A and B are shown apart, each in its own frame.
Chain A
Amino acid sequence: MSPTELRVEDSWASLRRYTDARIALGRAGASLPTRELLGFRLAHAAARDAVLAELDADSLAQGMAEPGLGLARLRSRCGSKAEYLQRPDLGRRLCDQSRSTLEALAPSSGCDLAIVVADGLSSAAVERQALPLLSALLPLAAGLKLGPLCLATRARVALSDEIGSLLGAKAVLILIGERPGLSSPDSLGAYLTFEPSPGTTDERRNCVSNIRPAGLPIASAASKLDYLVRESLRRGLSGVGLKDEQGALGTSSTLVVEERV
């Protein structure tokens, strides 16, 4: 029997053009062909690596120092990745040292917007998308009083509440690695919260998700965020009340969502 006879191709392979779902994979018996099996493993490996890899914070810090806004390096209370994955409560709180760092750096009269970059559930997302997004976003934020840029590790979305509150920020924006999908290991999410304070609930946040070249491109993400930030500051709110009221945000990628990181 020749190797090609061991595999049965599915005759409906032409349907693949309609979806990215893994359809018409063919089969060996009732099992996957070898190339499909290995393709799945490779995708899962990339996703696992994105979750477990430590963020290359030093390189990122270099890039974040360039705009000259000041930089705070922060950590949550999670001591390890394993603890981070099992204790979201600890990932939402700053360690004592980070609190002191931030208190020393806080502008005395507060700021309009604090921006936090955080590893979350995908270091790869932050390493690939965070600096390009900042570069696109900062020029749009001209005219706003920005706090020092913050780089936080082992962080959950709600860590931004404590950070924003310590900096006296009217609003806080956190750019954070999203839970990786099999075909999207490097997707960045951005969560905006007006009047951040510990204990803020998710319906008070706006989210722009799936920020990556193959998802929501950097430039579109930056303009959506710029719109959200300005509207939030102008109207004094974020979350459910700030939903796509002008149709400016498109439908699928900007939603008020449950916290996913």
Chain B
Amino acid sequence: MSYSATVGSVTYRFDDLKALLAAATPERSGDLLAGVAAGSAEERAAAQYALADLPLKAFLDDLVIPYEEDEVTRVIVDGLDYMAFAEVSSLTVGDFREWLLSDSTSGADIARISPGLMPEMAAAVSKIMRAQDLITAARKVRVRTAFRDSIGLPGRLSIRLQPNHPTDDPRGVAASIVDGLLYGAGDAVIGINPAGDNIDSVTRLLRMLDDIISGHGIPTQSCVLTHVTTTIEAIERGAPVDLVFQSIAGTQKANESFGVSASILEEGRAAALSLGRGTVGRNVMYFETGQGSALSAGANHGVDQQTVEARCYGFARAFEPLLVNTVVGFIGPEYLYDGKQIIRAGLEDHFCGKLLGLPMGVDICYTNHANADQDDMDILLASLAAAGVTYIMGVPGADDIMLNYQSTSFHDGLNARRLFGLRPAPEFEAWLRDLGLVDEDLTPRPLAGAERLLSGALAL
């Protein structure tokens, strides 16, 4: 089916739904690279008019990637709750924006219809929303998950402690963990991107994290971010695995380039659940995503990168993850050119993830070949904190010396919590307070309790 919009004497035509979605997307370098972006600013605005007039029902008929061809489409369609959709089924995309922002629509209302939404509907409404809309609507939605602590409660902002080291040196990793814990980071997960992803070094890191977490009774979970098949092997070898990590994408072909499928993810999930290591919940999956990954793998099917990203979330929700985050600025300027594009994409991804019922975090980040700096990240962090982001990253001094990019620091996390009156996960906060590591306003108190952590880390 084709679509059109007329501005003055010019009529813009869009061959199909994916062409319309692409043309309506705020400008970004990855869509230009893919050759799917609007040809002019006016065409983009016209496409947004056409998209706003489109009934949400149209997305059920006009699939951007066919059901027969693509496993991600099948997972999304097979999991749809049509009863939940019924409540908004008479709305257009433009109406749906107003419904989300309406005084009478609560977070519970959004959560009720969420299982009935296709990710393409979420992507569509986000494209006609301003940054302010993306913040305001996302803020209504709370998504609660749990493993050893409770993530996503109102008034809470969690932080993944990311203690990466270029050679996985245990003392180097431990030193960064101590630094992060003393600044109140680590309640989302203590998660290491390993330099070497062979099974032995992964297992070594898993044991080390388990020693720290169980040795100090820290109400949090560990993760070594390696391929799902490596984690499954680690579980088979008896390694203490809390969470199963995997990078995922929004098309089957891109997932194949990552070496993953729904059945492998389900196998990983079952393996982690069989260990029964969660104490307050059973969410065991950790996913990372990011706009542009499908195009990077030559697997975007002519769909714009933000719509493909939303499809990741539709895929992810089938596995009830503890944590999902978009690594928004990591991919580079050929997909998101500068701070403006990274900020917009971060807010879109967070909104779409929350709308689709995910515990959405954001790795607020940039590489050195992107035209962005700390000021851009400060603005995105403040915007996301206002939007109720589930968690952010905590990297020592914002400088990841293994992955060579800049994310948010332990200081940034503390600052955001103070600015917005947010606290760590309740179990984790109680642990910090019991050990005397922080005072009432979360200020680090590096005295009594810190000594135990220090001696524990040095003994490694």
Contact = CB atoms under 8 A, between A and B. Distances in A.
B83 interface: no
B275 to A, nearest CB: 29
Contacts of A87: 33, 334
Contacts of A36: 397
A40 B399 CA distance: 9
- List the 7 closest pairs (A to B, CB-CB), nearest first: A22-B397, A181-B404, A19-B172, A23-B179, A47-B368, A15-B175, A21-B396
Nearest to A39: B397
Nearest to B367: A179
A85 interface: yes
B415 interface: yes
A20 B400 CA distance: 10
Contacts of B404: 179-182, 184
B454 interface: yes
Contact of A12 (B166, B172, B178, B337): B178
A208 to B, nearest CB: 15
Nearest to B163: A21
A51 B337 CA distance: 14
B195 to A, nearest CB: 6
B258 to A, nearest CB: 11
14 contacts: A10-B179, A18-B174, A19-B175, A19-B401, A20-B166, A21-B399, A21-B401, A29-B415, A31-B415, A32-B409, A36-B397, A88-B33, A180-B404, A182-B404
Contacts of B399: 21-22, 40, 43, 182-183
B178 A15 contact: yes
A44 B373 contact: yes
A108 interface: no
Interface in B399-423: 399, 401, 404-406, 409, 411, 414-415, 418
A29 B409 CA distance: 14
B136 interface: no
B175 A23 contact: yes
A251 B169 CA distance: 14
Contact of B182 (A12, A31, A40): A12
Contacts of A25: 396-397, 411
B89 interface: no
Interface residues of A, number: 42
Contact of A48 (B165, B368, B457): B368
A10 B411 contact: no
A50 B398 CA distance: 20
A260 to B, nearest CB: 9
Contacts of A40: 374, 397-399
Interface string B310-334: 0000000000000000000000111
Q: Which interface class (under 10, 10 to 19, 20 to 34, 35 or more) fits B?
A: 35 or more
A85 B165 contact: no
Given A19-B176, A21-B172, 14 more contacts: A15-B179, A18-B171, A21-B163, A21-B396, A23-B175, A25-B396, A25-B397, A31-B411, A51-B368, A121-B369, A179-B332, A181-B401, A181-B404, A252-B196
Nearest to A50: B368
B444 interface: yes
A59 interface: no
A15 B333 contact: no
B199 to A, nearest CB: 14
Contacts of A11: 446-447, 450
Interface string B355-387: 000000000000111000110000000000000
Contacts of A1: none
A121 B370 CA distance: 11
Nearest to A25: B397
B406 A182 contact: yes
A121 to B, nearest CB: 5
Contacts of A19: 165, 169, 171-173, 175-176, 396, 401
Contacts of B32: 86
Given A85-B369, A87-B33, A10 B446 contact: yes
Nearest to A179: B369
B453 to A, nearest CB: 9
A23 B196 contact: no
A48 B372 CA distance: 10
A180 B406 CA distance: 11
